[in-house]
Amino acid sequence: MDFLSWPGAGDLAPGGWQLAVLALAALTIGVPAGIVGISFGIIRLPIMLAMGLDPITSFGTDLGVSVIGGLAALGPHWRGGHVRVRLVLLIGLPTLIGAFIGARIAGLVPAWSLLVMTSVIMIWAGVVMVRRGKATGDREPPRESRLRWWYDGSVGLGLGVLGGSVGMVLGALRLPALIKILRLDPRTAAGTSNAIGIIVGFFGFVGFAIDGHFDPELLLFLGLCGAVGSFFGALRTGRFDPRRLGLLIGVLVLAIVPLILYNAYRTATG
């Protein structure tokens, strides 16, 4: 298979400006991803779609890139003591089941509907991140209870289904929950969120890979670029204010929504 010859690649050529844009995006997005423990596939995916890639192939490839970047950031987070294994299991397991289910059902619905779903998720995540970034103080979170854990597991399952069906792990929603509800230190929340994202992303990716809905060469290339950024970003966790960074990313996420809706319209009418 020639490099960049995945389904839906259109007129992209090896060494073209599209490849440079994708590489730069993966590297640049990897840095804040490593810092705050969010894969930011929610930003990388629209760029892939804007390059004319097949939506289903993009979803699977994007999940794989998220996993590679997360693995690169895991080492620094683990050495810094920022990973809570118990929370990774309690929240990650229900989410990964949902991600696998979502990935398996992705090919059963029209591509345009998945793009619309992507836009809805982006609006949801963007608003959450902007609101969190603009907050000036922390309110006392509710006390943990057995019912709360069951509720969190159900939410994790739902987010997994949505994220898996559109190739995202939705760390943009999980990270605020770890900080606000579970009262984790932002650095610990980042490391734990990153670890959960690896698990969820892997199972979601497997769901796509079973039917070959990913491009291996593009996955390797973008994965390596993203891994470099994520590794160095994770080394700097705690040196940046995740809240303000989240505000900026949230604004960018919302700004990209019109582009995805346009792609959905073009797919539905083309």
- Report DSSP letters for 106-141, one per residue: GGGS-HHHHHHHHHHHHHHHHHHHHHHHH--S-PPP
State whether the Cα torsion 126-130-131-132 is positive or negative.
positive
When comparing pLDDT for 84 and 135, which is higher?
A: 84
Res 164 pLDDT > 80: no
What's the pLDDT tens digit per position in 170-190? Answer: 677 677 777 766 777 888 889
Cα–Cα distance measured from residue 267 to residue 58, given in angstroms and rounded to the nearest whole number:
14
Q: Helices (DSSP H) in the chain: which residue ranges? A: 17-36, 41-50, 55-79, 85-105, 111-134, 146-165, 171-180, 186-209, 216-235, 242-269
pLDDT for the residue 4: 41
For residues 162 and 117, the answer to whether their CB atoms sit within 8 Å is yes
pLDDT at 39 over 90: no
In this prediction, residues 218-235 reach a mean pLDDT of 95
Q: What is the pLDDT of residue 136?
A: 66
Q: What is the pTM of this model?
A: 0.75
Mean pLDDT of 233-240: 83
- Predicted pLDDT at 20: 87
Higher pLDDT, 224 or 150: 224
Whether pLDDT at 9 is above 60: no
| Crossing angle for the helix pair 55-79 and 186-209, to the nearest 10 degrees | 140
pLDDT, average across residues 39-45: 82
Q: What is the pLDDT of residue 229?
A: 96
Picking from 54-63, 103-112, 115-124, 182-191, which range would have the lowest pLDDT averaged per residue?
103-112
Mean pLDDT of the region 156-161 = 75
Q: What is the C-alpha separation between 238 and 187, in angstroms, rounded?
A: 6
- pLDDT band per the 50, 70, 90 thresholds, residue 245: low
Burial class of 41 by CB neighbour count within 10 A (0 to 12, 13 to 18, 19+): buried
Least confident of 83-97, 137-151, 180-194: 137-151
pLDDT band at 64 (very low <50, low <70, confident <90, very high): very high
Nearest to 119 by CA among 257, 259, 269: 257
- What's the pLDDT band for 166 if we cut at 50, 70, 90? low
pLDDT band at 2 (very low <50, low <70, confident <90, very high): very low
Quick check: 79 pLDDT over 90?
yes
Neighbouring CB atoms inside 10 A of 150's CB total 11
For 67, the 3-state DSSP assignment is helix
